Amino acid sequence: EAGVTQFPSHSVIEKGQTVTLRCDPISGHDNLYWYRRVMGKEIKFLLHFVKESKQDESGMPNNRFLAERTGGTYSTLKVQPAELEDSGVYFCASSHLGQDLNTEAFFGQGTRLTVV
């Protein structure tokens, strides 16, 4: 079974440009999460999809960030326009619906975004 995959693995862009990150969750996982780790600090929650619906976007830093999950499969996270403080590692995770142990989240390798 393929794990959570993210693309690209690295991205270097200039301030003001646009970047789109992609996440392919594990097949059959209805929950999809985006997290971010900035400057070696803790991993912080950005938002949560259940299928194609945004369940919780309380962690999105501002309106420069737009996440979509059309069709309830893969998800994209667009940053437009990018700022220097957006640099960090963006992780995607997916899980089954529910609350028991079998709903533990599986993470992708992350996209390392550097804004210069």
Asked whether 44 and 91 are in contact (CB, 8 A), the reply is no
Three-state DSSP class for 12?
Answer: strand
Q: Does 113 bind other proteins (CB under 8 A)?
A: no
- Between 88 and 110, CB nearer to other proteins: 110
Question: Using CB under 8 A, which of 19, 21, 67, 91 touches other proteins?
Answer: 91
Q: In angstroms, what is the minimal distance from the CB of 103 to other proteins?
A: 6
CA of 109: how far to CAs of 9, 71, 81, in Å?
8, 23, 24
Q: Does 111 bind other proteins (CB under 8 A)?
A: no
Name the region of 58 (left: φ>0; alpha: ψ -120 to 50; beta: rest).
alpha
Binding stretches for other proteins (CB under 8 A) = 3-4, 31, 33, 35, 41-45, 48, 50, 55-56, 91, 93, 95, 98-99, 101, 103-110
